[in-house]
Structure 1
Amino acid sequence: MKEVERDFLTEEELLKIYNKKISSERLQLVRDIFIFSCYTGLAYVDVKGLKKDHIGIGIDGEKWIFKNRQKTETKSKIPILPIAEEIIEKYSNHPKCLNENSILPILTNQKMNAYLKEIGDLCDIPKEITFHMARHTFATSVTLTNGVPIETVSKMLGHKNLHTTQHYAKVLDRKVSEDMKVLKDKFSIYNNSSNKKSS
């Protein structure tokens, strides 16, 4: 099987979208829901089905999302990061959320993707941004790049096995460089101390 190259946003691109001043309410909404997905790793169908009772208190006393993934029926347990919580708060009194007991007033996947293309243009990001890219961004730029172990990422994504997560997990050159720097520093400490002993 040929491995599909999965595109994702870098941390810089993600922050560019998050911080962009957008005057259109429609694009603001799409941006917020996309960012929410980037910081929770939830797929479109799972964000759409997210209800207030999917949010509970986790093992650490903080707010978590507890939800079965629609695609695989596996349980996702995701601690809510501050940016995701900020977006939940922003839409807590939105008429659609109040009427449907939902967390976010999400549009159709087709509309979301069409508007994300506009947002990409507004932010000068030369990638074709789709809603599914948010899940890859969560796996790559939000978690793995910041040192979250792949087993933890796999559990939050609701994957049945680690092999599935590895498709998402682009090991970034920056991460490789940082990990190897730790090793280099360790070796230079050993070298310095053994040089002192021999002199």
Structure 2
Amino acid sequence: MIVPILTFVYDRRHIASSKREAVVELRVTFERRAKWMSTGIRLLPKHWHNGTVTNRVDAKELNAALDAIMVKARKVVNAMMDAGALNLDEIPSRMEALTREKRLFVDFCEDRAKVRVYGKSADTADRYDRFLKWLRAWGHIVFFSDVTDRNIMKMDEDLAKTGMKNYSKWNNYHRFMNSFILDAMDEGMLKRNPYKWLHIEKEKNCGLQKFLTLEEFRRLERAPMGTESLERVRDLFVFQTYTCLSYVDLVAFDLSSIQGGEDALCSDVSVYTAKRGKTGVEFTLLLLKGAKNVLKKYGGKLPLLSNVKYNEYLKLVAQAAGIDKPITTHWARHTGATMLLNDGGVDMEVISKILGHTSTRQTRATYAKLLDKSIITAMKGFEERLNGK
């Protein structure tokens, strides 16, 4: 790997004399090309020796200034190398931006992430960490001045080139970037938010296709997994499906929130009430037999694991059950709601309460097309009954 060479050069044009000063320049050499940048420091030949300012009253201050310039240059060059492309012509403007801003946008994001994940789940911290690692590796938004409409568009285009779907792009990348930009605006570090002017597709109703049919769920519920680890993951998915809990609320599940406590698991009616970790909205649900069976199997303590590992193992669970779908933890919630709506005939308002949505409008926005199918099925059945079939 070819490494850029950074060094200070005095009197490159050989114009200095005992009474005539010459400039000290920073030279960056890479792949047989060189970029020269003035440091603004002019000296007589007697004041420069072995790359150091000497024999001057302000020598200490001038050497400190040169050290600062070298640090900034190395930071810019390293950031560009990490991004996979060193453009020598961009170095001066990036150094100027770094001098003007005094703080990198990526550094600001890392500081804000510590605040945003405080008190949150380990999974949330992992998601922020993955985004920040990607942002540094991508390398196109380093300084505050890089937060432009064009760069956000490039970010979306580059993510799309990986084959990522709109929902994943927004939920795992743009959403975090937008949050950090808003934080920077609150602190006066940025004046405008490119997301205000750009339309980034979010696919809010993407969950519509992300569910298992009743037949697929039954197959997954009963299929032999081969290992205890996969069996625990499968059982967790089954419990989540029967309860329609999100991953955050799954982690927070507490037997003490069941009316009647742990003893209620043996009764016909076990009612669970809690508040959604995401919105704080209270929800109530009946623990169905399938959910209670899982709790009893594990002594009332769910076999939890991190969201990242959970999602990884679910791919293997699907394979073991012969299901060719990229299921994730959120599929369980959608599967449960879909079965209640399509197979159970449960009213939309009841499903909204179970899901802990802030309003039925939110539920309808997600399941509107499925509701349409339920209406069609119900009306066809009504017509058949009218015709005596």
TM-score tier by shorter-chain length is 0.7 to 0.9
SS of residue in 2 equivalent to 1:175: helix
- Kindly indicate whether the alpha-carbon contact (under 8 Å) linking 2:275 and 2:282 is maintained by their aligned counterparts in 1: yes
The alpha carbon displacement at 1:2 in A equals: 4.7
Question: What's the counterpart of residue 81 of structure 1?
Answer: 288
Matches within 5 A, 1:108-127: 108-127=306-325
The alpha carbon displacement at 1:182 in A equals: 2.9
The alpha carbon displacement at 1:3 in A equals: 3.8
Q: What residue identity is the alignment partner of 1:171?
A: L
CA, structure 1 residues 164+48, in 2 after alignment: closer, same or farther (shift >3 Å)?
same
SS of residue in 1 equivalent to 2:329: coil
Alignment of 1:9 with 2:212, yes or no, is yes
Question: What's the counterpart of residue 256 of structure 2?
Answer: 53
- Kindly indicate whether the alpha-carbon contact (under 8 Å) linking 1:65 and 1:79 is maintained by their aligned counterparts in 2: yes
Question: What's the counterpart of residue 39 of structure 1?
Answer: 242
SS of residue in 2 equivalent to 1:62: coil
The alpha carbon displacement at 1:177 in A equals: 4.6
The alpha carbon displacement at 1:164 in A equals: 1.1
The alpha carbon displacement at 1:125 in A equals: 1.3
Question: What's the counterpart of residue 28 of structure 1?
Answer: 231
The alpha carbon displacement at 1:188 in A equals: 2.2
Q: What residue identity is the alignment partner of 1:181?
A: K
The alpha carbon displacement at 1:86 in A equals: 0.5
Pick which of 117-126 and 176-185 moved more: 176-185
Question: What's the counterpart of residue 105 of structure 1?
Answer: 303
Separation of aligned partners in 1, 2:226 and 2:268: 37
Identify unmatched segments of 5+ residues in structure 1. 98-102, 190-199
Identify unmatched segments of 5+ residues in structure 2. 1-201
The alpha carbon displacement at 1:4 in A equals: 3.0
The alpha carbon displacement at 1:50 in A equals: 1.0
Greater relative contact order structure (CA < 8 Å, 6+ sep) = 1
- Kindly indicate whether the alpha-carbon contact (under 8 Å) linking 1:55 and 1:64 is maintained by their aligned counterparts in 2: yes
Separation of aligned partners in 2, 1:88 and 1:125: 25
Separation of aligned partners in 1, 2:205 and 2:372: 19
Match of 1:65 among 256, 266, 272: 272
Q: What residue identity is the alignment partner of 2:252?
A: G
- Kindly indicate whether the alpha-carbon contact (under 8 Å) linking 1:140 and 1:168 is maintained by their aligned counterparts in 2: no
- Kindly indicate whether the alpha-carbon contact (under 8 Å) linking 2:272 and 2:284 is maintained by their aligned counterparts in 1: yes
The alpha carbon displacement at 1:174 in A equals: 6.1
Question: What's the counterpart of residue 327 of structure 2?
Answer: 129
Separation of aligned partners in 2, 1:43 and 1:122: 23
Separation of aligned partners in 2, 1:173 and 1:120: 28
Separation of aligned partners in 2, 1:105 and 1:121: 20
Q: What is the identity percentage for the equivalent residue pairs of Structure 1 and Structure 2?
A: 34
TM superposition score normalised by structure 1: 0.82
SS of residue in 2 equivalent to 1:65: strand
Alignment of 1:159 with 2:357, yes or no, is yes
Match of 2:384 among 168, 185, 191: 185
The alpha carbon displacement at 1:22 in A equals: 1.6
Separation of aligned partners in 1, 2:290 and 2:325: 23
Separation of aligned partners in 2, 1:61 and 1:23: 32
- Kindly indicate whether the alpha-carbon contact (under 8 Å) linking 1:144 and 1:153 is maintained by their aligned counterparts in 2: yes
Question: What's the counterpart of residue 144 of structure 1?
Answer: 341
- Kindly indicate whether the alpha-carbon contact (under 8 Å) linking 1:62 and 1:79 is maintained by their aligned counterparts in 2: yes
Q: How many residues align?
A: 178
Give the structure with higher Rg (CA).
2
C-alpha deviations, 1:91-120, integer Å up to 9, x for none?
A: 11xxxx6xxxxx312000001000001111
The alpha carbon displacement at 1:40 in A equals: 0.4
Question: What's the counterpart of residue 7 of structure 2?
Answer: none
SS of residue in 1 equivalent to 2:380: helix
- Kindly indicate whether the alpha-carbon contact (under 8 Å) linking 2:284 and 2:353 is maintained by their aligned counterparts in 1: yes
SS of residue in 2 equivalent to 1:105: coil
Q: What residue identity is the alignment partner of 2:206?
A: E
Separation of aligned partners in 1, 2:256 and 2:231: 25
